[in-house]
Amino acid sequence: MNLLQAIILGIIQGLTEFLPISSTGHLRIIPALLGWSDPGAAFTAVIQFGTLVAVLLYFRRDIFSITSAVIKGIVYKNLFYNRDAQMGWMIAAGTVPIVFFGLLLKHQIETSFRSLYIISGSLIVLAVILMIAEAITKRKIARGEHLKSLDDLTWKEVIAVGFWQSVALIPGSSRSGTTITGGLLVGMNRETAARFSFLLSLPSVFAAGVLEIIKERRELFSPQIGAENVLIATIVSGFVGYASIAFLLNYLKSHTTYLFIIYRIVVGFGLLYLLYSGMLSPL
């Protein structure tokens, strides 16, 4: 890996981490198209620290309120004394599914799941499911039904979205895409689904990054990748990721996710064509 590749991979991570089009998939597809080596699951997990910092900065007021409320609840032995404290514990509960399945399927996630066939299938199938969720949401809006905000969420709905987040362990799925899909299916409006998606991602992204640094530090800091390239890609992903968050939240205030659905389907079938024609190798 050289500096230019690190910068490009950082831009890809920042752009695609929050848009529902799969950062892991694009970090696998684009290097393959350019003839580069697969940067690997460890590299992908670590440079997510940049986008993690972007979420922390963008939602700093919400995160401060939730964190301080959780700490006060523990100190005063009243864990759910207000909505912010309850939301903190809800996020923790919603993180359990992805931790469980992440540990259970860790080997597959780092090896066979990175097949471009699986990525293309994830892009297409989950785009169709998101399309169904959009159709359900549009019918609710047409009937004048109330769509849920963060204050309306129950434990059952949060845990359901947590299971949808665990689907994002499959490359090509998109963490924001699966959680937005889950959010729409439990009755959230689009902006709330995206906002909750970003907040829910914080614990799992942090844990995955720390785990990969500890486990794969020799590979990450080897001459083939290089510590400086990991650092540059992480910084670039943070700056680009912050802009992506702002764009998506503003976009979903008045638009559907159909733009991303069409993009996923086109990329998925395009990838299948390249694989069947022999222009790309699946692994």
The count of C-alpha atoms lying within 13 angstroms of the C-alpha of 53, restricted to the half-sphere facing its C-beta, is 13
The count of C-alpha atoms lying within 13 angstroms of the C-alpha of 56, restricted to the half-sphere facing its C-beta, is 12
Residue 283 lies in a domain: no
Provide the domain limits for residue 135: 3-276
Instruction: Give 51-108 pLDDT, tens digit per residue.
Output: 888 989 999 999 999 999 999 999 988 999 899 999 999 999 999 999 999 888 888 8
Amino acid code (one letter) for 249: L
Instruction: Give 196-246 pLDDT, tens digit per residue.
Output: 999 998 888 888 777 777 776 676 666 666 788 888 999 999 999 999 999
The tokens 């390249």 sit on which residue?
A: 274
Write phi, then psi, for 143 (nearest 5 degrees). Answer: -85, 0
What pLDDT shows up at residue 35? 86
Residue 21 lies in a domain: yes
Instruction: Give 116-126 pLDDT, tens digit per residue.
Output: 899 999 999 99
What pLDDT shows up at residue 217? 67
Residue 282 lies in a domain: no
The tokens 């690997």 sit on which residue?
A: 40
Distance in angstroms (rounded) separating the CA atoms of residues 129 and 157: 18
Residue 96 lies in a domain: yes
Distance in angstroms (rounded) separating the CA atoms of residues 274 and 187: 38
Whether pLDDT at 277 is above 70: yes
Distance in angstroms (rounded) separating the CA atoms of residues 106 and 104: 6
Instruction: Give 25-39 pLDDT, tens digit per residue.
Output: 888 888 888 888 878
Report the domain count for the chain. 1
Whether pLDDT at 43 is above 90: no
Percent of the chain at pLDDT above 90?
Answer: 53
Q: pLDDT band for 261, please (50, 70, 90 cuts).
A: very high
Distance in angstroms (rounded) separating the CA atoms of residues 218 and 255: 44
The full DSSP string for 198-229 is HHHHHHHHHHHHHHHHHHHHHHHTSTTT-HHH
What pLDDT shows up at residue 240? 94
Q: pLDDT band for 281, please (50, 70, 90 cuts).
A: confident
Distance in angstroms (rounded) separating the CA atoms of residues 36 and 47: 18
